[in-house]
Chains A and B, each alone.
Chain A
Amino acid sequence: MSAFTLTNARLIDPETGEESLGGITVEDGVITARHEGAPPADAGTVTECNGLCLAPGIVDIGVKVCEPGERHKESFGSAGQAAAAGGVTTIVTRPDTTPVIDTPETLEFVIRRAREAAPVRVLPMATLTKNREGREMTEIGFLMDTGAVAFSDGDHVVTNTKVLVRALTYARARGALVIGHIQEPVLSAGAAVTSGKFASLRGLPGVSPMAERMGLDRDVALLEMTGAAYHIDQITTARALPALERAKANGLDITAGVSIHHLTLNEFDVADYRTFFKVKPPLRSEDDRVAVVGAVASGLIDVICSMHTPQDEESKRLPYEAAASGAVGLQTLLPAAMRLVHSGDMTLAQLWRALSLNPARRLGLACGRLSEGAPADLVLFDPDAPFVLDRANLLSKSKNTPFDEARMQGRVRATWVAGRQVHGDAL
């Protein structure tokens, strides 16, 4: 592949935490040089970026692609296109499909389908326990050999702590990363919203935000026992944050993520039973939202993800309690996350630390950086371009976004994966 250079871009470098005006040169899918000012002479095709932002492509942990089982909701093709259009260059897929990804054979199917159909990098997760039942651990070794990057039962909590201790211990020995859902399941059972004034007025079953703290406390204790590498899929409440901080201070190998929806929406957005706002865990109070935004800015929460969960119209056009949970997010992650920058809560470099650098590091990937030698997984975007989102324009097969008709700022202009442009007009 011939070399090309992008110049006069606002470079967002999450490693140094700095922004600078300059450009990069890409050769054979790898960033080979960075420059300030005018591009060097031997830089191949030079493309002028007109001061747009250039950042490492987003690494999104926890994407649901509904293959196998529900391809009408989302396929590797549609999810990959949506990711490319959203500046997401690596999707880490959830194994909570039908059937679940709990054997090397089903994992191979997923890897093959992803290679055929998706224009972005796809790294699959496998389940921690067979059929997500929380009874027996999966073949963690074989699954890693096949290509599983992490192990997760999705939103199923392994309630049998003996099983979980053994799985965590075994995972530690194999060097596997376990991703857990920390909502205490008994207290959470049947809940559609977070308990409080809003839940009471709407007459919807609520769960106390304390369920998250309870689940976290349990898992932290098990990590002290086992020493496993553990990532929390979503931490969404103020009360859980001090426990996370203590666990990190005590040297446990723990990191945490949060979905973009919990960073930008709160429980009142559900308003008159709008089921596109039904996510799991449910949207929280404004106090909680502000606290988790602060925790992302400070670095206590490591990762922002889209928690992309496609649902068809039929499963959402139901009374709120009966409707399915989840929202699509691959294509709206970047503009929604830009709200955190426009509101002054964090800098672009801080934001990209959570969108790219930290998730890549957690998974041991070389991407997520703008340094020489890093893969040329890149997103070029206009941070200010305003638009009103029309869900019909989303590339996902399912259009269940809570941002329909929302005013947003921040548009992806181009996306590259390993130096190959996968989205945007020819520049």
Chain B
Amino acid sequence: MGFRQDHLLGIEPLAPDEIQEILDLADDYVALSRSDDKHSDALAGLTQINMFFENSTRTQASFELAGKRLGADVMNMSLAASSIKKGETLIDTAMTLNAMRPDLLVVRHPHSGAVDLLAQKVNCAVLNAGDGQHEHPTQALLDALTIRRKKGRLHRLSIAICGDIAHSRVARSNLILLGKMENRIRLVGPPTLIPAGMADLGCEVYEDMAEGLRDVDVVMMLRLQKERMDGGFIPSEREYYHLYGLDAEKLAHAKEDAIVMHPGPMNRGVEIDGALADDINRSVIQEQVEMGVSVRMAAMDLLARNLKRRRQAA
């Protein structure tokens, strides 16, 4: 069947075979990225614009590097402070950029659904680099690649997603992806940070870390989104760390070979113990960052192939 998408707006529209195809290609790009000649011409001649309506260092750098390794002309736009302040609407901004004939638009926006809206108005391939509290598909894909490489498979694993799930687009995309690949998913966190209706979506919800981590294969920690805490979701950071921060003691409830993941940037001493985060025997946080570049290379490559096919057909 092959990868059939025009855009990568979320994990939700992807079929399992499409997810596997992205990961398979990403494996190749891991090899490329580890070689001395890190260059391919897969995106040669194409223009990639990174539009970030919300500040980001890591994700933007990862997309930029991915595009450059594949030979695209990459432009970065930080829009958190520019035209939006001048009253230009999202759609006008998109139309303006569209007129400059980009081929790949990488978009991050603080509002859920904003990237979908933008994708309806442009005629290039759009990648969602995080929209509000909705989805962050490339993060879920890089997590999946990391798990697949560490565990040898991406199905029938028991995976705990822990912490601030309510404010996390990473959690949503992971939940959908890992569910599609038939894993057992647990959500662990204080009830104020677990969104409503989660038990209906086929997850097991735990309010206690020891119970939630029992015998899991993978522990995914989430960043406590302090900047989004407008209403006192937790009493204090130290109480949060005491109850929900991952340390060696809590991790002991998981399987002996359980891996520890975190999408970054970390709040050391809030959701994760610093020493544990640096423990190369358990923590795969650095691998996640590495996989991020390769997964984004793969996603952009596949989207660009479909884009060229569409343009030839037209």
Chain A positions within 8 Å of B, measured between CB atoms, are 195-204, 206, 208, 272-273, 314, 317-322
Contacts and interface: CB of A to CB of B under 8 A. Distances in A.
A410 to B, nearest CB: 32
Given A203-B172, A321-B132, A197 B112 contact: no
Contacts of B109: 319
B169 A203 contact: yes
B282 to A, nearest CB: 30
A198 B114 CA distance: 17
A272 B116 contact: yes
A317 B93 CA distance: 13
Interface stretch (B30-38, B67-75, B191-199, B211-219): B191-199
A203 B196 contact: no
B197 A320 contact: no
B112 A273 contact: yes
Q: Interface on chain A toward B: helix, strand, loop, or mixed SS?
A: loop
Interface of B: 89-91, 109, 111-114, 116-117, 131-135, 169, 172, 195-198, 200-201
B200 A202 contact: no
A320 B195 contact: no
13 contacts: A195-B196, A197-B196, A197-B197, A200-B195, A200-B198, A201-B172, A203-B133, A203-B169, A204-B132, A204-B133, A273-B113, A273-B116, A320-B112
Contacts of A200: 172, 195-198, 201
Nearest to A194: B196
B263 to A, nearest CB: 16
B246 to A, nearest CB: 23
Contact of B200 (A197, A199, A203, A320): A197
A325 to B, nearest CB: 15
A203 B197 contact: no
Nearest to B167: A203
Given A199-B196, A273-B113, 8 more contacts: A198-B197, A199-B197, A201-B172, A202-B113, A203-B113, A203-B134, A204-B134, A322-B111
A201 B117 CA distance: 17
A320 B109 CA distance: 12
B122 to A, nearest CB: 14
Given A317-B91, A318-B90, A203 B201 contact: no
B134 A202 contact: yes
B112 A202 contact: yes
Contacts of A202: 112-113, 134
Interface centre among B90, B91, B113, B132 (most CB of A within 10 A): B113
Contacts of A195: 195-197
A33 to B, nearest CB: 57
A272 B113 contact: yes
A319 B132 CA distance: 10
Nearest to B113: A273
A198 B113 CA distance: 13
Interface centre among B131, B195, B201 (most CB of A within 10 A): B195
Contact of B135 (A198, A203, A314): A203
B136 to A, nearest CB: 10
A199 B166 CA distance: 11
Contacts of A204: 112-113, 132-134
Contact of B114 (A196, A208, A319): A319
10 nearest A-B pairs in the assembled complex, by CB-CB distance: A197-B197, A273-B113, A203-B134, A319-B111, A203-B133, A200-B195, A319-B114, A203-B112, A196-B197, A195-B196
A86 B169 CA distance: 43
B176 to A, nearest CB: 8
A410 B169 CA distance: 43
Interface centre among A201, A314, A318, A322 (most CB of B within 10 A): A201
Contact of B196 (A196, A320, A321): A196
Contacts of A197: 196-198, 200-201
Contact of B132 (A198, A201, A203, A206): A203
A320 B135 CA distance: 15
A202 B91 CA distance: 20
A181 to B, nearest CB: 23
Contacts of B112: 202-204, 273, 319-321
Contacts of A318: 89-90, 117
A202 B114 CA distance: 11
B24 to A, nearest CB: 28
A319 B90 contact: yes
Contacts of B195: 195, 199-200
A204 B134 CA distance: 7
A117 B195 CA distance: 49
A204 B195 CA distance: 10
Contacts of A322: 111
A188 to B, nearest CB: 13
Nearest to A322: B111
B196 A319 contact: no
A202 to B, nearest CB: 6
A134 B169 CA distance: 38
A204 B201 CA distance: 16
Given A196-B196, A197-B196, A200-B197, A320 B111 contact: yes
Contacts of A196: 196-197
A203 B131 contact: yes
A317 B200 CA distance: 31
A314 B169 contact: no
A202 B196 CA distance: 12
Nearest to A270: B113
A367 B196 CA distance: 46
B196 A206 contact: yes
Contacts of B131: 203
A357 B193 CA distance: 48
A319 B113 contact: yes
Contact of B113 (A208, A314, A317, A320): A320
Contacts of A320: 111-113
Given A195-B196, A198-B197, A319 B134 contact: no
